[in-house]
């Protein structure tokens, strides 16, 4: 039986830069750093982001930017603050998809390794309730 999400791993060419992004944008808390003693494929660090185990591992970045992404929940009033944090780090913002009123707000951005992240203020329940109303 699947019990839920275990962890998310991102491969990055620069563990320090990825740590800066995770701690600045997501308020991540670092909980492990392998240093030069690796138990996995390469040096790695573990973080907690809102109760989610996020691992970063040293390696080659993604070649292309795509719409594949991981979305983290933010508060409805966090939009401006999180946008300022993303801009301060010089990260590439991606224009969001068209939205209908009531499904929440999103920020999409890429890290230096072409991973796309989303910060979203809505929930599955609010989105489904809004979609049930149709386009009117």
The answer to whether position 1 is within a domain reads: no
For the chain, give the mean pLDDT. Answer: 91
The model's pTM is 0.87
d(CA 21, CA 115): 12
Separation CA 84–CA 81 (nearest Å): 5
Which residue among the candidates 20, 37, 44, 95 is catalytic per the annotation?
A: 44
Q: Give the relative orientation of helices 79-88 and 15-26 as an angle to the nearest 10 degrees.
A: 160
What is the domain count for the chain?
Answer: 1
CATH number of residue 94's parent domain = 3.10.180.10
- Note whether residue 103 is domain-resident: yes
Instruction: Establish if 83 belongs to a structural domain.
Output: yes
Domain that holds residue 125: 7-132
pLDDT in tens, 73-114: 999 899 999 999 999 999 999 876 656 666 678 899 999 999
Active site residue 44: yes
For the residues 6-28, what does the mean pLDDT come to?
Answer: 97
* Predicted local confidence at residue 122, as pLDDT: 81
Q: Is residue 50 part of a domain?
A: yes
């Amino acid at each position: 039986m699947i019990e839920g999400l275990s962890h998310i791993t991102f491969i990055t060419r620069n563990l320090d830069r990825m740590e800066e992004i995770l701690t600045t944008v997501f308020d991540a808390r670092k909980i492990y750093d392998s240093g030069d003693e690796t138990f996995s494929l390469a040096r790695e660090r573990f973080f907690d982001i809102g109760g989610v185990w996020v691992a970063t591992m040293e390696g080659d970045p993604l070649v292309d930017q795509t719409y594949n992404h991981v979305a983290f929940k933010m508060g409805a009033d966090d939009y401006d603050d999180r946008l300022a944090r993303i801009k301060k780090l010089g990260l590439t913002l991606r224009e969001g998809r068209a939205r209908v009123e009531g499904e929440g707000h999103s920020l999409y951005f890429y890290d230096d390794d072409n991973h796309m992240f989303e910060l979203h203020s809505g929930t599955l329940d609010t989105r489904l309730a809004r979609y049930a109303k149709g386009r009117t």
